[in-house]
A and B are shown apart, each in its own frame.
Chain A
Amino acid sequence: MNSWMVALLLLAVLSLAYQQGWSLSRRLATPEGRLHSRPAYHGSLVAIWTIAPALVIFGLWALFGTSASRAFILANLPAEIVDTGGAALQSAIQRVRAIASGFGVAGEVQPYEAAAGEALRRFQLIASATVLAAAAAFAGVSLYFARRRIATRLRARNEVERLVRYLLLACSGVAILTTLGIVLSLVFEAARFFTFVSPIDFFFGTVWNPRFSTTGAGSGQYGLLPLLWGTVMVAGIAMFVALPIGLMTAIYLSQYAKPRVRSIVKPMIEILAGIPTIVYGFFALVTVGPALSAFGASIGVDIRATSALTAGIVMGIMIIPFISSLSDDILRQVPRAMIDGSIGLGATQSETIKRVVLPAALPGIVGAFLLAVSRAIGETMIVVLAAGNSPFLRANPGEPISTVTVTIVNQLTGDQDFASPQSLVAFALGLTLFVMTLFLNMAALYIVRRFREQYE
């Protein structure tokens, strides 16, 4: 069943239903009996009621179709293959599906495979015909009833409004449910990890040495602290670079720059935000790292090319537009009247900024800062390339470190066995990261609200 055809068909049904509702309601409108709702609403209402049951049927098929066909394949495969289970069964099912779809498969086609494929093909044909027929039947029936409801007093407008509201609610529900799903999968996988390693060893351990799952025996040590320390250090350096530069840029743009300068400078700074982080990673690895280490050598300080410092500085550059752009918007929201009040008292522009504009904008700036921190914590590519991937507790920023994000990448790339603690630890790390950024964002919101109450 071609999904494009189905979509076209649905559209056709939709417009037919709309037209039906529209023209029928118009015919009802007599000079004395005024319609409660305009014909367009009647049309929409009929269209919605007609299409909704069909959509539900297609939705059910999309949800359960695959498992239904899987059950059918299993019923058609020889018992000894079904009994093997695992990967072998999985690939057998794949082959049958491929044969049924006509794409063909690599290697010799076994007779039982051919039979199962042919059966599956017929099954799918019948199934899709059934689904189509059911959808059409439901659409027809509901079209009939929806048409019958049309009357001058039918409050079609109110009903359409309500249905539209449900539709919008459902859409926002999708985002929430997705987030919930992600969190739940993180939580369950992390819980599996904690059956291997105790949470105390994980959260308070100072050694990170997971070994490899392939070497078998011994599950290694999973101390979070070295990674957390690396994350905090890199994010700290990044904010140390980004906050002053970003904030001062914002002050210049919002308070001093002439409109023409602003219209050129602002987009240019925002280009910085559009550079893929992997490119920043190159930049750190190829340019900044060697330059820093040469500079360190010239003043007698040992700075490694890949280090917390390199990653932090480049990450700071990446975050500048984030801070400057957010702060600029916030600073521009400080009422003109407040600035005039200060200027009118004889304050200079910089006094006004220091004593009136910045204090008034502080909550917003703190919020922007915390959002930037949570971005820095979650940033991956730059640290993968430039931080040195060395998970030890070290205080010197000139040494290589590793972060939570880098470690997640390491644990999930290469040959994976998703039942081993070596892989599962990635979920525990992801959960930690998620909780950290969640708290930062909540703190940002809370602070912003507190200051608002105080000042407005």
Chain B
Amino acid sequence: MVKVGDDLLAAIGGLPAATSPLVVEAEGIHKWFGRQHALKGVSLTVRRQEVVVVIGPSGSGKTTFIRCVNHLEKIEEGRIKVNGHLIGYQEVDGRLKEDREKNIALQRREIGMVFQRFNLFPHKTALENVTEAPIQVRGIREDEAKALGMAILARVGLAHRADAYPVQLSGGQQQRVAIARALAMKPALMLFDEPTSALDPEMIGEVLEVMKELAREGMTMIVVSHEMGFAREVADRMVMMDDGRILEEGTPEHFFENPQQERTQAFLSKIL
């Protein structure tokens, strides 16, 4: 049996070994959906153990950007590196060529993603949701995976619901299982796309608590969220996106005390 650690990262076996102080290096990302220019040259660097909160109005490209980081979206220009590895592409004579599916899948193992609408596997129990990828993708033995899964579920406070199917769980519980599912792959980076915006207000807190704990323990995270209490508490840096660009970047203090851009001020005054 795996010993249940005191914290979330201990439950998954600690932080992956650092191979580079920079976890994410995105450089001049352009993304088109047909004629729609969704990302217009986005550059962002995220250091190890940093928590970056992304805000911005609807349609500004927040979701698109973090989906590019694990290559759920192709990009037309620029490059994204995670842990020093080019994501989704290979460089051939200075030009980028989409990588083989197998390699992309290998890269995605290291990048956890939490979706707005949870996307739990409805035909699997909470525990099976968590152990599916460790068993099927990492090839971990079933009993080991179960022990690991129970340890992580315990950390998100859901060990007692291990055998429940997603439909039997509340929204907050489903999202916590989704976080546990992503953590079970021991990712070097976690991406969150508005993880609490589909939740009833009384369930937001329990999900944010799990995320705060993870942040405090040193997980590298990019979080798209308009939960400003969360940002104030755990963000190392905030990023304001607008119309496919990064408009402003800075510490939470900077954002809450003297944002420079008028649009940032206007946006913050609306959501605060």
User: Is B a genuine binding partner of A?
Assistant: no
Q: Which B positions have Cβ atoms within 8 angstroms of A?
A: none
Write the residues of chain A forming the contact surface with B, with a CB cutoff of 8 angstroms: none
